[in-house]
Every structure is written in C-alpha cells, then in structure tokens.
Amino acid sequence: MAYPIGIDLGTTNCVAAVWQRGQAVTIPVDGQGTLPSAISVRSDGILIGQPAKGRAQIAPASSVTSVKRFIGDGKTKWEIEGKTYTPVDVSAMLLGRLKEAAEAHLGEAITEAVITVPAYFNNNQKRDTKLAGEAAGFEVLQLLPEPTAAAIQYGLDKGKNQTLLVYDLGGGTFDVSILEVKENDFNVVAVDGDFHLGGDDFDLLLVDHLIGLIEEQTKEDMGLFRSLFGRKGKKKKGSETATREMLLARQRLKEAAEIAKIELSQADRTCVSLPNILGTSLDEEITIDTYNRLIEPMVARTIEKIREVLASARLTSDDIDRVILVGGSTRNRLVKEQVTKAVKEPWTSEHVDEAVAQGAAIVAGSMAAPDLDMTPVEININNVTPFSLGVCSYEKESTRCINSIIIHKNRPVPCEEARPYELQTAAGRDNKLEAYMLQGESENPAECLVIGKYIFTGVSHTPGALAKVEIQYGYDKNGIITAAAREQSTGKALELHVEALPDDMTWLDEISRGGSFDPSNLKLIVTPPGYDDVGSVLTSLQLPFIVYTERQPLDCDIFFWNCLASTHPSAEAIRDYVSDGGCLYASCCAARDLDDAFPGAIEFDHSGCRSETIQADVIDMDLTKTVGKNLRIQYNTAACYTVSLQGPGSKVLLREAATGKDVMVMVPFGKGHIFYTCFHHHEDLSKDEKSLLQFLVMKQISVVSGIPIEAVSSEIRT
C-alpha cells in the first residue's frame, strides 16, 4: 500500500509532507522544504517552482504567481504562448510537481492526498481545488481546513483537553478558527476569515509606498503602472498599454517589497535599492515604524475577525488555552503584538511554513497509512461550514428577493436539510424546479456568493394538482454543497444540472432592494394598430404605453411596431434608435423597412401570404420555461416572410415545426436589440398565443433591464 501525503497548496509556497514512522516529515522539493507557487511558460516547456519564480522577473507576461487568489472565481485565465491556462490548470501543475517530488523521495507511486484549503474558502474555491488535485493524478481523500491541520500538528497526542485559537495568515488568505481538543478529538467550534487578505497585500502596501517615491522623483503620473498591481490609479490618455519596461519594473518592485517584508520581521530597518527603474533609481531606507504604519489597518482587520469568531463561539479570550500562529506572514512582529493584546501571547511553530502540510499528513496517515508503517494515529475531526447556505426567494410582503437561509454558518459538516416546494406543472412540457443557490450571511442575495442556478428536471404532471417536490440541501465532509430532489408522491429522484451564471449579475441587486425594479416604469411606445395590436397585449399585462405619433422622438426603452401601422418612424430613425441601445419589436410587414435599416443583420424572404394554423417549436429557453416546448399558432392571418439570421449573437425564438423555418428571432445590433416575428395577429388570440406574446414582451423587458425573465414575470404578476 502506497503512502498518502498531505499538501498545503499555498498562495506563496506549497508544501508536501508524509506520516512516516510515527511522525510527520516534510518532503523536500528541489532540496527545499517549500515549492514557490509559480509557473513560467517557455516555448520549450513549463518551469515550476523556484526556476519559475526567478524567470518571472524577466518574463512576467509568461509567468503566473499567487494562483490561489484566483481559484474558484470562474473568470481568470492566462493566455501564454498560444495556450489558455486556468487557475485549476496552474494549481494542477503545482500539485503534480509535489507528486513527482514525493514519489522520488518515497520511491513509489503516490496516488492519494489530503489537500488543505483556507477554512473560509467558499464552495467554488473548494470544488476547483479538488478538481486540480484530481487533474494532478490524486485521489483527494479530504479537503482539510488549514487551521484544523495546524491544530492537529500542534495538539496531537498532547493528552489533555484544551481550547485552541488558530490564527492563520498566509501569503494570500487569512483564517481564524476555534477548536476544542479532547485528547485526539478535534472539534471545530467556529471559523471566520478573509480569503483576500495576506502577505501579498502587505507587499502591495510597500509597493504603493515605493511607487509614491518614484512619482516624487520623476514628477510622472504612475496611474497606469499602479493599475498593474490592481491598485487604484488614473490612466493617462495615450498610455493605455503597459510597456515591457513597466512589466519588468512591476516584478522587480514586488520582489523588493517581499524581501523588505522578510527582513523587517527581524530587523528594525532595511534598504530598498533598485537602480534604473522607470526613469530613476531607488535607494530608500524603510524602518519598522514606517512598515507597521502601512500594514496596521490590515492587521486590525484580522483582530476584528478574532473578536467576531469569539463572539460566534460565545467565548472570551480567557476561555482560550492557546493561540497558535500559522502561515509565513505571522513572522511579522506587529501581528504577534496585536494578537497578544487581543487574546494572549501566541505559540509559533519552529517551521511555520510547514505546519499545515504536516497536519494534513497526519490526517492522511490516519486515513490510509501503509501496513508496514504500523503507526497510524487514531484521530477524529469535526469541521464546520464557514458560510450559511441559502436560496434566492421572492418575499411577497416586501416585493423583493431575499437570501432564505437553510443551513446556518458554523454548523458541523457533513449536514443536510430538506425543504418542500410546490409548483404548477403542464402536460407535455419539461417541468422543472429552479433555485439560485447562495452562500453568505446577508439577507440581500446580491451581497452573497451566488453559487449557481440549480435546475431539477423531470417533475411529473398530475392534472388538477400542484406537484410537490422535496429538495435535500447539504454540505459534504469537504464543505462542498450537495443537492438532490425527489417527488413526494412517487419518490422519484429528479435529475440535477447546475447552470453557469453570467458575468453580469447586477439584476440580482435590483430585485433585492425591493421596489427599485418596476416594469411599469419602463417607457413603452407602440405604433397605432394595423393588422397587429401589441397594445392589447401590454394592456393585458397592465403595462402603460404611449401611442406613436408622426416624427415623435424614440426616447423609450422598447418600441413596438405593429404590422401595417398607419404611422411609423423612418428606417434611419429606427436604425439610430437601436444602434444607441433601444429595443425594437416588429412584425411581418416591417420586413422591407428593417432590411433598409439593418442591412446584413437579418435576411428576409417574401414567400407569399398564407393563412393557416401552424405548429411551432419554442427554441428560446426563457420562453420554453413559461409557454412550453411547442405551440399551435392560430393567427387567422398571413405569414408573409421567413427570416435567416446573419449577425453574430443572434438567436431563434420560434421555429415552424413542419418546414424548419425560423419565424421569430432576436438580433443584437449596435447597443440594442431587434425582435422580429414573421406573424401578425388580431385581438382574438388563443390562450397559447396570448401567453406567447405576453412572455415575448417579458423577454424584451428582461433584455432591456438585464433581469431574468422569471424575476420580470414575478414583478409583473404581482
């Protein structure tokens, strides 16, 4: 049986350790106890660790450092040498290098690992860390919170009951946890933290200070240069692109700041010497007083987190038996001073960078130690969830959306809670239940992390009755969200898939504030009725509108163009309106004018007028959710045109089933959108036709406002 190993996947450095012959031993990588968390891509291969960290100084655009800060964000990517790398890809490379080092050190294949994560990592960050481990070739036995790992490394076999507070300040993240230890039982009581606070931020504060000195010497605005560090700074016109000189200067400053930080952990002063940097040279003395003044606000934030976690655990500083400092950034003297004032004098491991990995190795050994070792330790670990788990729910009393919490923060994991739901179903449709899953404590969903849209499909339809569904929400042992649903009447399990969220989620804040999104406040203009009468549809939705008069300015959110209307704008006016961000709805007879206004966006084919009922497939997902997958359209009038989409990003909304011809489309143009249907209609609409046109209006409002059609529908219906 092979050895399982423990891994600390850190922001600045990574460490691997193994439980061997009764003790946790750090595995050397390239002769060192730590592996710098850096990769650098060259045309002939990829450097990992110390060589990559060194090359980053001369090739910053081809290098990635501090990847842990981006894991789980779903957005960050690096384009290097013609290839795209994600945080999962880069993390997998680091883990793979640790795997190689462990196999060389132990002389056998390594396939299992316990990987540590910040206690305050959210679901997406934990999920992507696990994916990275699997991509590196590991079976991830457990994702272990870093403070818990440190507590195990400190408290193993102490043989006494104690309450520990673990203060873990690494390169990019901060955690504070309280654990009750009884012999070798480690029970996490409460956690808190900030996964965007660490030694990297201390470095950036020093960088800010040094850039200020460069500005003083050169009298140049360094706004663009500051922005390379993610700092605020006004970019000058004509200097929108960073030069290679700037990229190299960025790496030199980061390196100098990191060295200065390390030296000031022991000395009272240090000197930063950087010749020939951005038109000047730096030879500046930095004192410990200057440094402490810069970082004091961030250290104060960590102390506030200590107070919050004590309050959550209903404890005082007197109840804490030992404070343990973990992470390289706890070498900072101000940290030790402030923690001592807030709680008590802390204990620091001799090898503070290796303690977390060694704790993970102990856990790995307890789970799957080789038979030949004969020294597995018996330990029991109970962790808690760092975030409450909830769903975005509509609150009728306040006409807003709230975070309806299901599982509260600091509850032991694994855990599970069930919630019943009732929903209206329809025959012949793919009936489904959707939930926006949230992590966070705020009642406002916009202030929480939206994990994703969880969609349960296959709900059975029973005529004359509401479908009853029970959803089981939970956290597994790694703190990753679980969800499953079943029908209460049949016990049938429903299929689940999680839909990715769009980059722009501002709509959530709008509907969470209550009353700030009101479709009736949208300005709608409709041409006089011709064959169509869109005004009757708007009236049925109780949406006010204005009837267009000749040469009226199109200062509206949506303009509805009835077929053969007696008065309508010119092609030029329509084009300008849509190009500037307007939303246009037009039907059959507007085709000729639209062809003039938007050449190349839509291709129109005049196929002759015909009057009949057709079967239409609903292609658009938003409309499918509300009107089903197909409809019988009984317009009692002509379908004169068919359309072909030409522009990028265009979407088919409705398609004639028999011929496969597209008969309703949405086309982006300029900043706006065109909605065109080949049909025109009268007032005598069937129920299906009325629903289709109502929800087409809602679709347009959704596009204009950026708010999902479900939320638009809820607001209009109430």
- Give this prediction's pTM: 0.71
- Provide the pLDDT for residue 535: 83
Decide which of 2.40.110.10, 3.20.20.210, 3.90.640.10, 3.40.1390.10 is the CATH code for 199-294.
3.90.640.10
Q: Would you identify the CATH topology of the domain 519-717?
A: Rossmann fold (3.40.50)
* 345 vs 334: CA distance, rounded Å: 12
Tokens 């239940």, residue? Answer: 433
Q: DSSP code of 638?
A: B
Residues 6 or more apart whose Cβ sits within 8 Å of residue 579:
669, 670, 671, 672
* 255 vs 273: CA distance, rounded Å: 11
Residues 6 or more apart whose Cβ sits within 8 Å of residue 418:
470, 471, 472, 473
CA atoms within 13 A on the CB side of 447: 9
Q: DSSP code of 171?
A: S
- Provide the pLDDT for residue 225: 85
Q: Which CATH superfamily is domain 5-197+296-384 in?
A: ATPase, nucleotide binding domain (3.30.420.40)
Selection from 91, 93, 102 nearest residue 69 by Cα:
91
Residue 712 near residue 705, CB atoms below 8 Å: yes
- Provide the pLDDT for residue 638: 44
Tokens at residue 85, please?
A: 């790398």
- Provide the pLDDT for residue 665: 84
- Provide the pLDDT for residue 698: 86
- Provide the pLDDT for residue 465: 76
* 45 vs 51: CA distance, rounded Å: 12
Those residues of the chain that have pLDDT short of 70 are: 1, 157, 159, 231-240, 369-376, 394-400, 426-429, 507, 510-511, 513-520, 600, 606-612, 625-626, 633-649, 680-684, 706-708, 711, 714, 717-718
* 165 vs 188: CA distance, rounded Å: 10
- Provide the pLDDT for residue 443: 86
* 660 vs 533: CA distance, rounded Å: 27
Question: How far from the centroid of its chain's Cα atoms is residue 264's Cα?
Answer: 36
Residue 95 near residue 132, CB atoms below 8 Å: yes
Q: What is the 3-state secondary structure (H, E, C) of 192-227?
A: EEECCCCHHHHHHHHHHHHHHHHHHHHCCCCHHHHH
- The Cα angle at residue 533 between residues 531 and 539, in degrees rounded to 5: 170
Q: What's the helix, strand, coil split of the chain in %, to 5?
A: 30, 30, 35
- Provide the pLDDT for residue 237: 45
Decide which of 2.40.50.100, 3.40.50.300, 2.60.34.10, 3.30.70.100 is the CATH code for 389-512.
2.60.34.10
pLDDT tens-digit series, residues 129-166: 999 999 999 999 999 999 999 999 888 767 678 999 99
* 225 vs 231: CA distance, rounded Å: 9
* 139 vs 145: CA distance, rounded Å: 17
Question: How far from the centroid of its chain's Cα atoms is residue 511's Cα?
Answer: 20
Domain ranges of the chain: 5-197+296-384, 199-294, 389-512, 519-717
How far is residue 116 from each of residues 7, 142, 190, 268, 306, measured CA to CA in Å? Answer: 6, 8, 17, 34, 21
* 203 vs 304: CA distance, rounded Å: 21
Residue 257 near residue 210, CB atoms below 8 Å: yes
Residues 6 or more apart whose Cβ sits within 8 Å of residue 207:
229, 231, 253, 254, 257
